[in-house]
Chains A and B, each alone.
Chain A
Amino acid sequence: MLRILHQIFKVGTITEPLASSERFDVLGAQLKTAVRQRFQGSLAIRLVDAGSCNGCELEIHAANNAYYDIERFGMHFTASPRFADLLLVTGPVSINMKTALEMTYDAMPSPKLVVAMGDCAVNCGVFGKGNYAIAGTVADIIPVDAVIHGCPPSPTDLIQGILACLNDA
C-alpha cells in the first residue's frame, strides 16, 4: 500500500490544459440551447464501433488517461444507450453493424447528439465507399451533429470536437 501511495505522489498531477485543435466540423444547426442545458454539466457518452480498426478506440482510451482526463469536462462513457446523451461512432458502418447502430440510436432518449469520429466514420477512410461490406458513412445511416477528422483523431481532437459540438448554437 505504501508503495502505491508513494508512486501516486511521485507521479503527481500530470493532467494538462487542453490544447487546441481544428480537426472537427460542427454540422448541427439543429443543436438548440435547450439541448445543451439539459446536460447540466454532465454528458453521458455511448460509443459504438460500427466497423473500426480499433485505432480510434485506442485514442478514446487515451482521452481517459491522466493527461487528458476527459471526465474533468463532465463527460463520461456509459454502458447503456438508455441514459446516454451523445452517441460517438467510429468506423465506416459495416453492413453487419448497421442494424446494431440503428438500434442503439433508437434506444437513446431524445434529444440526442451524434458525433462521427475518425476518417472512416466521416468518409469511409481507407476502406472506401463503393465497398460491398460497407453500408456507408455514419451520416448515411443516422443524423450526425459533428464530425472529427483524423486517422485516428488524437485525444485532443476528440475532446475539442465534442466540446465544440456542445458549445455551438
Chain B
Amino acid sequence: MTRPSRNTWFGERLSDQGIYVQYLDDHHPVHMPCLEIRRLDWAHAAKEAKRLEMRLVAVWAADANKRAGKDASERRLCTYMAFAHPEHRHVLLRTELSAAKPEIPSLSGHYIAACRMERSMQDMFGLNVSNAFDNRLWIKHEHWPEDSHALLRAFDAHTPLRPEPERIGMDYDYVSCDSECVYEIPVGPVHAGIIESGHFRFLAVGEKILNMEERLGYVHKGIERSMQGRTAQDGIALAGRVSGDSTVGHAWAFAQACEYAANLDIPPRASYLRGVLCERERIANHIGDIGAVCNDAAFAFMHGQCLRLREEMARLHQEIFGHRLLMDAVTIGGVASDLSGDMCQKLIRQTLDIAAEVEHLRAIYADAPSIQQRVIGAGIVSVVDAKDLGLLGFVGRASGHYSDERIEEAYPPYDDLIIPVPEGKLGGVSTRVWVRFEEIANASRMVIQLLETLPEGEINTVWQAPEAGVSGFAAIESWRGEIAAWVRFGMDARIDRYFVRDPSVINWLGLELAVRTVPVPDFPLVNKSFNCSYSGNDL
C-alpha cells in the first residue's frame, strides 16, 4: 500500500492566521495528523476551522503523556479537538492546560455540538470549560460525590462509587417554562418499550411538542476507564460492546486506531472481510429500523417482514462468523475467521435475496397511504441545522449533509469501491427511511462486489504494539455514521487512553431539533427514524 503523505492543509491555514503549530511525531497516521497549538489559540483555531467549513468531529481530554517517568499525579491535562473537511480529511489539534488551573475556553460558540462533549470532559477530568453557555453535569449524575472525576489518574476506579447522601434527590436543571399552557412530560429512564435507558423531558402545548430535552448518561459503564491497562487484543472485545448494534463499526474503529498507531497494514483480504461485515451490519440495522418506524405508525405488517429478514441474516452470521450480531469478528490485525468459497456463495446468495425482498417491501411501503401519511413531513431537520450540528451518517444524508468516511477517508477496502451517496434534502422521517432503503441497496451491491473480488491471502497480520506514548486515530463509517476513535499506548503495550465518539453523540442533538412542533404521539416515530445509541453516548 502506498502511504499517503502528511496532511498539512489545515496546519498551513492556521499558520496563515498566525497560529503556531507543531506536528506531533508520536501520532499516526500522517494523513490525519495531530498538531500541538498554544492554549491561547484554542478558540481561535476553532473559529478558523469553522470559517473553512470544517466539521467538528470531537473534543476530548487526556493527561499529557510525559514519557520521562514523571510522577503520574504531576501529569498535566491536554485537550484535543478533531476536525474534518470533505476534501482535506481529518486533523487533530492538541493543547496542554496549566497544571495549577486546568481551564480551556469553550468551542460551543463556534460549534454547538461541542457542548455535550465539553461537559463530559468537565465531568471526567474536573477541568473547567470557560465561556460555556451550559455548565450542567452530563455523564456524572447529580448523586456522584462532587470530587469524583473518573478519568483522573488519582481517582479510585476500582470501587463502585458511593452516592453522597446529601446529593441523592438533587435534580437536573431541566429547561422549563412558566407559562400556564405549557405542561411537562417526563419519560424514562425506563422506557415503555424494549429499548435502552435514558430520560426525555417534553414541554408541550396541547398536542404539540414545544421543546424536548434529553438527559442521558444512565447507562454509563466506565468504558473509557475500563479500557486503560488492557492490551489491544484484550480491549477489542470491550470496544465491540460500546454499542451492541454497531459492534463491527466500533471494533473496526478501535482496531484501526491501534493499527495506525503501530504502523501496521492489514492484509487486503482482511480489510475486504471487514467491509463485508460492516456492510452486512448496515443492512441488518437499517432493515430492523425501517420495520420499527413502521411499527410505531401501526403498520405492523412491515415490522413482521423486516424482523424476519433480520433474523435470516443473524442466522447466517451465526453459521459463518460464529455470532448472530457479528461480535468479536473483527480482531486486532485482521478478522477472526476466513471464508471458504462455499461460504462466500452463501453470503452472496442471501445478500441478493434480501436486497430483492427489501425492494419488494419498499414498493408496498411506498404505496401504503396509512404509513406514508405519518412519515411524510414528520420530524424535519433543516439543511442549515444539519450542517451546523454536523449530523452524521444517514441522518445527515437525509438533511443535505453528506459526510461519509468511506468516501472522504477512503480507507481500505472502500478505496476499491464506488460508494453512491443518497442525497436527501427534506430531512423528515420519510427521507431518513428513503436514505436507509437506498443504503440497503448500495450496501448489498458492495457486499457482493467485495465477495466476488475477494483477494487471496492472509486474514491477519502479527500484532506488534507501538512504544509507550504513541497514539493513533481512526474514523470509520459505521451504519449510524462516523465513529471516531483515538487510542494512546502506555507502558508494556497497554492502552493508556481510549476515546471514542459514537455518531449518536452528535445525532442526539438532531433529534431534539426534529421533534419541535411535532405532535407528542409522533415522537416515537421520529425517534426510531434516528435510532441513536444510548450506550454509545454514555460509554
User: What is A's interface to B at a CB cutoff of 8 Å?
Assistant: 3-4, 7-8, 11, 14, 47-62, 64-67, 77, 79, 81, 91-92, 94-97, 99-100, 104, 125-128, 130-136, 151-152, 154
Question: Which residues in window 222-250 of B have CB below 8 A to A?
Answer: 222-223, 225-226, 237-238, 241-245, 247
Contact B160 A134 (CB under 8 A): yes
Question: A54 CA to B502 CA in the complex, in Å?
Answer: 14
Chain B neighbourhood of A49, CB < 8 A: 190, 195-197, 219, 534
Chain A neighbourhood of B220, CB < 8 A: 51, 94, 96, 133
Contact B324 A59 (CB under 8 A): yes
Contact B158 A54 (CB under 8 A): no
Question: A134 CA to B220 CA in the complex, in Å?
Answer: 8
CB distance from B128 to the nearest CB of A (A): 22
Contact A104 B221 (CB under 8 A): no
Contact B190 A100 (CB under 8 A): yes
| Contact bitstring B189-210, A, C-beta under 8 A = 1, else 0 | 1101111110000000000000
Contact B534 A66 (CB under 8 A): no
Contact B193 A79 (CB under 8 A): yes
| Contact bitstring B377-408, A, C-beta under 8 A = 1, else 0 | 00000000000000000000000000000000
**Nearest A residue to B367 by beta-carbon distance?**
A3
Contact B241 A53 (CB under 8 A): yes
Flag whether B529 is at the interface (Cβ < 8 A).
Answer: no
Flag whether B503 is at the interface (Cβ < 8 A).
Answer: no
CB distance from B123 to the nearest CB of A (A): 12
Flag whether B415 is at the interface (Cβ < 8 A).
Answer: no
CB distance from A62 to the nearest CB of B (A): 6
Question: A4 CA to B363 CA in the complex, in Å?
Answer: 10
Contact A133 B222 (CB under 8 A): yes
Centre residue among A52, A64, A100, A131 by max chain B CB count within 10 A: A131
Question: Which residues in window 342-366 of B have CB below 8 A to A?
Answer: 360-361, 363-364
CB distance from A152 to the nearest CB of B (A): 7
CB distance from A82 to the nearest CB of B (A): 12
Flag whether B156 is at the interface (Cβ < 8 A).
Answer: yes
Contact of B197 among A3, A48, A66 (CB under 8 A): A48
Chain A neighbourhood of B217, CB < 8 A: 96
Chain B neighbourhood of A99, CB < 8 A: 143
Other than the given A66-B307, A128-B226, A133-B160, 13 more pairs (CB < 8 A) read A50-B197, A51-B221, A52-B535, A53-B241, A54-B243, A54-B533, A55-B327, A57-B194, A62-B314, A77-B194, A96-B141, A132-B159, A136-B160
Can you list 23 contacts pairing A with B, beta carbon distance less than 8 Å?
A7-B361, A7-B364, A11-B308, A14-B308, A48-B197, A61-B194, A61-B288, A62-B311, A65-B304, A66-B311, A67-B308, A95-B143, A96-B217, A96-B219, A97-B189, A126-B241, A127-B222, A128-B226, A132-B148, A132-B157, A133-B160, A133-B221, A135-B160
Q: How many residues of B contact A (CB 8 A)?
A: 61
Chain B neighbourhood of A81, CB < 8 A: 190
Contact A64 B219 (CB under 8 A): no
Question: A135 CA to B155 CA in the complex, in Å?
Answer: 17
Whether A53 contacts B225 in the complex (CB less than 8 A), given A65-B310, A133-B161, comes out as no
Contact B327 A151 (CB under 8 A): yes
Contact B535 A54 (CB under 8 A): yes
CB distance from A140 to the nearest CB of B (A): 9
Question: A135 CA to B221 CA in the complex, in Å?
Answer: 10
Contact B161 A95 (CB under 8 A): yes
Question: A147 CA to B196 CA in the complex, in Å?
Answer: 20
Chain B neighbourhood of A151, CB < 8 A: 241, 327
CB distance from A88 to the nearest CB of B (A): 9
Flag whether B20 is at the interface (Cβ < 8 A).
Answer: no
Contact A7 B157 (CB under 8 A): no
Question: A53 CA to B197 CA in the complex, in Å?
Answer: 10
Contact of B311 among A67, A92, A136 (CB under 8 A): A67
CB distance from B366 to the nearest CB of A (A): 11
Chain A neighbourhood of B157, CB < 8 A: 131-132
Chain A neighbourhood of B368, CB < 8 A: 4
Contact B190 A130 (CB under 8 A): no
Contact B307 A126 (CB under 8 A): no
Chain A neighbourhood of B304, CB < 8 A: 65-66
Whether A94 contacts B221 in the complex (CB less than 8 A), given A49-B196, A49-B197, A79-B192, comes out as yes
Chain A neighbourhood of B225, CB < 8 A: 131-133
Question: A131 CA to B150 CA in the complex, in Å?
Answer: 10
CB distance from A45 to the nearest CB of B (A): 9
Contact A54 B244 (CB under 8 A): yes
**Nearest A residue to B223 by beta-carbon distance?**
A127
Question: A51 CA to B189 CA in the complex, in Å?
Answer: 11
Contact B219 A57 (CB under 8 A): no
Contact B308 A47 (CB under 8 A): no
Whether A52 contacts B159 in the complex (CB less than 8 A), given A62-B307, A100-B218, comes out as no
Chain A neighbourhood of B223, CB < 8 A: 127
Question: Which residues in window 144-201 of B have CB below 8 A to A?
Answer: 144, 148, 150, 155-161, 163, 189-190, 192-197
Question: Which residues in window 7-44 of B have CB below 8 A to A?
Answer: none
Flag whether B301 is at the interface (Cβ < 8 A).
Answer: yes
CB distance from B104 to the nearest CB of A (A): 24
CB distance from A27 to the nearest CB of B (A): 23
Contact B244 A53 (CB under 8 A): yes
Contact A4 B308 (CB under 8 A): no
Question: A130 CA to B225 CA in the complex, in Å?
Answer: 11
Flag whether B108 is at the interface (Cβ < 8 A).
Answer: no
Flag whether B372 is at the interface (Cβ < 8 A).
Answer: no
Flag whether B325 is at the interface (Cβ < 8 A).
Answer: yes
Contact B155 A132 (CB under 8 A): yes
Flag whether B305 is at the interface (Cβ < 8 A).
Answer: yes
CB distance from B532 to the nearest CB of A (A): 11
Question: A127 CA to B364 CA in the complex, in Å?
Answer: 43
| Contact bitstring B283-296, A, C-beta under 8 A = 1, else 0 | 00000100000000
Question: A94 CA to B219 CA in the complex, in Å?
Answer: 6
Contact A152 B195 (CB under 8 A): no
**Nearest B residue to A59 by beta-carbon distance?**
B324
Question: A54 CA to B247 CA in the complex, in Å?
Answer: 10
Question: A91 CA to B308 CA in the complex, in Å?
Answer: 26
**Nearest B residue to A135 by beta-carbon distance?**
B160
Chain A neighbourhood of B242, CB < 8 A: 53
Chain A neighbourhood of B218, CB < 8 A: 51, 94, 96-97, 100
